[in-house]
């Protein structure tokens, strides 16, 4: 797509045209509320859009899309704004901002939530909780529901219900030509296949229909070990995880405790029979002697709230993330990870992983675009640091070194939701055998590369 720098167009013309057709506000570079409106989670993102179309309706999204095409502007789409790579913001272009579109409507009879394109996980969790239902979500309430779902969506209920993408029943999408279409198994089935793992490469998802599930007995909470005991605890965890029931999901994090010293934290979530859950959680707690444990009944919203203070403490941080998918948590891999955490260059840096097992592994690899269905641990290597005027090179190098050191233990590819265009080799393998089909659909639905800021798709071989 040939784009024109907006400085060579008439900014006032573009802005006035949008303001005449949109219900939501249009924020122009230089406006008083520009800095607040463009702010995203990762402080390292420096892209400065020319203007942001803050949409309130699907018609607003269509209007913004058409104006962007008419003036050949670079385009990006902002949902939750939590993507570490800053894909929500395009330099000198137009941002379709969905952050005001956060409505979640639950149909208790059909157990389906209609989720607007800018809704966050905590919005969906709260609406589901209020109806005694639960969704297959991730672990961070501030993350956008659309971004999580379209890229795959790891979370503690994957064992029971599959990925977030597996629970997508349909969507409303604004295409690159401004048309608004409804997609699902019987309406534009190829596009519906592509967005479940292929991210925002094919259109702007303005709303989604998401399958909800009946709430069963839920037990969750943190179990914390000092780093000195982490290696032994992880060996026992690896054995436990090999036969873990579908009803149990465990987020594992190696990050800082209150004193900024590294700790190992397990966050188990049981969703099933009360007595069985209490027994299994008790068995898991008996794997070692934690320095802190607070596990008990809670809702999914309660569990998300457990992680909010840690993210708040890192507010304003700069971030860089790499991923590896490990088929097993071997002693050698555990050693590599624990040594790296002990040698962190910043107290805000961390290593987290999600365990894909159970129902998520029983979905055929070709059923949706998401490519990796065998059991694995998706490892997030997260470098984070407070801005101090430095380039952050040492922190990025820490993440790069751990990423390279885990390569001998890893499967090909990586989690597409966290990859960038520089990760060409991982992107090539991230979608398994679905790459060619995705590329063909990209050519069909976005031949001009309008959605160039979306997660990367594999190159032609």
pLDDT score of 145 more than 80? yes
Domains of the chain: 6-97 (3.30.43.10), 104-215 (3.30.465.10), 217-424 (3.40.462.20)
23-47: per-residue pLDDT in tens? 999 999 999 999 999 999 999 999 9
Q: How confident is the model at residue 90 (pLDDT cuts 50, 70, 90)?
A: very high
280-327: per-residue pLDDT in tens? 999 999 888 999 999 999 999 999 999 876 555 456 799 999 999 999
pLDDT score of 4 more than 70? no
pLDDT score of 231 more than 50? yes
pLDDT of residue 11: 75
Per-residue buried b or exposed e for 321-358, using 16+ beta carbons within 10 Å of the residue's own CB: bbbbbbeebeeebbebbbebbeebbbbbbbbbbbbbbb
Q: Which whole number is the average pLDDT over 63-72?
A: 95
pLDDT score of 193 more than 70? yes
pLDDT of residue 10: 61
Q: Which whole number is the average pLDDT over 244-268?
A: 96
Q: Which whole number is the average pLDDT over 431-445?
A: 96
176-191: per-residue pLDDT in tens? 999 999 999 999 999 9
Q: Calculate the average pLDDT of the chain.
A: 94
Share of the chain above pLDDT 70, in %: 96
Q: How confident is the model at residue 454 (pLDDT cuts 50, 70, 90)?
A: very high
Please state, in angstroms and rounded to a whole number, the distance separating the CA atoms of residues 162 and 453: 27
pLDDT score of 271 more than 50? yes
Contacts of 92 (CB under 8 A, 6+ apart): 5, 6, 7, 48, 49, 50, 74
């Amino acid at each position: 797509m040939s784009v024109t720098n907006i400085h060579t167009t008439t900014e006032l013309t573009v802005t006035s045209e949008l303001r005449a057709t949109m219900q939501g506000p249009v924020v122009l570079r230089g406006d008083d509320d520009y800095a607040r409106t463009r702010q995203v989670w990762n402080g390292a993102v420096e892209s400065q859009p020319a203007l942001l179309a803050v949409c309130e309706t699907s018609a607003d999204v269509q209007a913004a899309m058409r104006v962007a095409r008419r003036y050949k502007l670079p385009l990006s789409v902002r949902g939750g704004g939590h993507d570490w790579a800053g894909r929500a913001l395009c330099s000198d272009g137009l941002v379709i901002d969905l952050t005001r579109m956060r409505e979640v409507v639950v149909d208790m009879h059909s157990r389906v939530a209609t989720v607007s394109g800018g809704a966050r996980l905590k919005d969906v969790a709260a609406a589901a909780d209020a109806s005694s239902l639960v969704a297959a979500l991730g672990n961070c309430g501030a993350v956008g529901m659309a971004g999580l779902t379209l890229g795959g969506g790891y979370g503690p209920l994957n064992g029971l219900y599959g990925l977030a993408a597996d629970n997508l029943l349909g969507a409303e999408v604004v295409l690159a030509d401004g048309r608004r279409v409804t997609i699902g198994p019987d309406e534009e089935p190829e596009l519906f296949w592509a967005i479940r793992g292929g991210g925002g490469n094919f259109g702007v998802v303005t709303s989604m229909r998401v399958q909800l599930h009946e709430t069963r007995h839920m037990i969750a909470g943190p179990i914390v070990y000092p780093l000195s005991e982490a290696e032994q605890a992880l060996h026992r965890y690896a054995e436990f995880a090999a036969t873990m029931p579908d009803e149990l999901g465990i987020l594992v994090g190696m990050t800082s405790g209150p004193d900024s010293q590294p700790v190992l934290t397990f966050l188990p979530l049981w969703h099933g029979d009360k007595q069985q859950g209490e027994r299994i959680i008790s068995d898991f707690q008996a794997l070692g002697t934690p320095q802190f444990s607070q596990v008990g009944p809670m809702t999914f919203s309660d569990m998300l709230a457990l992680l909010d203070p840690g993210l708040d403490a890192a507010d304003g941080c700069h971030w860089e993330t790499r991923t590896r998918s490990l088929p097993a948590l071997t002693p050698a891999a555990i050693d590599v990870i624990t040594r790296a955490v002990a040698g962190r260059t910043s107290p805000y840096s961390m290593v987290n992983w999600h365990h894909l097992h159970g129902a998520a592994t029983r979905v055929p690899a070709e059923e949706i675009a998401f490519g990796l269905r065998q059991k694995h641990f998706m490892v997030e290597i997260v470098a984070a640091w407070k801005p101090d005027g430095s380039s952050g090179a040492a922190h990025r190098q820490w993440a790069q070194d751990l990423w390279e050191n885990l390569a001998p233990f890893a499967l090909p590819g990586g989690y597409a939701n966290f990859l960038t265009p520089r990760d060409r080799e991982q992107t090539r393998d991230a979608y398994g055998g679905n790459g060619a089909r995705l590329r063909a659909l990209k050519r069909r639905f976005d031949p001009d590369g309008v959605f160039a800021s979306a997660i990367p798709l594999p190159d032609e071989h």
